[in-house]
């Protein structure tokens, strides 16, 4: 009999813990707008809803450069690499000083890499390193260049 209890004891402990956790979660998960009060005569809980006006999330309008970048990025994510390259190039022409310019340059290189045009990919990674030396993508670009040199021969 002791062996059977020992065998099931860990499962019983886990089940008890789960029940306790669920009980705590359920007991503490009341809506913030609900207040429970009791009347002194009956000691019956009365739930009163308070009216609060929810604050609307402030939606910030996207800047033109952000919209153009996202349009190009969407093409990239859809696997439409040639169209994405064109959109990224237009973006870089229209917004050369954008905060997304290095992202666009990096993704142009990735597009060429995905289309297996490794020489062009290397050229685009080199442009990234030259034009955006402080970019977060510089190290990745350097690694990709070294890697792609084997395939570009």
The arrangement of secondary structure in 64-148, i.e. its CATH architecture, is: Alpha Horseshoe (1.25)
pLDDT tier for residue 37 given thresholds of 50, 70 and 90: low
**Model confidence, pTM:** 0.61
Burial (CB < 10 A; 0-12, 13-18, 19+), residue 46, is exposed
* Domain residue limits, the chain: 2-37, 64-148
Distance CA(141)–CA(146), nearest Å, equals: 9
Q: Which two tokens stand for residue 12?
A: 């019983």
Q: What is the pLDDT of residue 72?
A: 96
Q: How many CA atoms are closer than 13 Å to the CA of 129, on its beta-carbon side?
A: 14
| Cβ-contact 141, 108 below 8 angstroms | no
Query: Of 83 and 57, which is predicted with more confidence?
Result: 83
* Mean predicted confidence (pLDDT) in 37-54: 54
For residue 117, what pLDDT band results from cuts at 50, 70 and 90? very high
Q: Residue 58: CB partners within 8 Å, gap ≥ 6? A: none
Residue 46 has pLDDT above 60, yes or no: no
Q: Give the model confidence (pLDDT) of 10-23 as tens digits.
A: 767 777 676 776 76
Of 2-6, 25-29, 45-49, 107-111, least confident by mean pLDDT is 45-49
**Percent of all residues in the chain with a pLDDT value above 90, rounded to a whole number:** 57
DSSP 151: T
Q: In whole numbers, what is the pLDDT of the chain averaged over residues? A: 82
pLDDT at 136: 96
pLDDT of residue 34: 47
89 vs 50: CA distance, rounded Å: 55
Of the candidates 130, 86, 136, the one whose C-alpha atom is nearest the C-alpha of residue 94 is 86
User: What pLDDT was estimated at residue 56?
Assistant: 46
152: helix, strand or coil: coil
E strand map for the chain: 34-38, 45-49
- Could you give the CA distance from residue 136 to residue 127 in angstroms, rounded to a whole number? 14
């Amino acid at each position: 009999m002791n062996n059977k209890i020992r065998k099931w004891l860990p499962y019983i402990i886990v089940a008890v813990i789960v029940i306790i956790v669920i009980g705590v979660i359920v007991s503490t998960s009341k809506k913030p707008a609900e207040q429970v009060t009791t009347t002194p005569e009956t000691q019956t809980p009365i739930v009163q809803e308070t009216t609060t006006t929810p604050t609307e999330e402030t939606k910030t309008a996207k800047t033109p450069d952000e919209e153009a970048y996202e349009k190009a990025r969407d093409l990239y994510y859809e696997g439409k690499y040639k169209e994405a390259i064109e959109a990224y190039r237009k973006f870089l022409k229209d917004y050369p000083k954008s905060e997304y310019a290095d992202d666009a340059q990096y993704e142009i290189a990735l597009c060429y890499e995905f289309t297996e045009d490794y020489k062009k990919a290397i050229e685009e990674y080199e442009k990234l390193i030259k034009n955006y030396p402080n970019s977060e993508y510089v190290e990745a670009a350097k690694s990709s260049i070294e890697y792609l040199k084997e395939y570009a021969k």
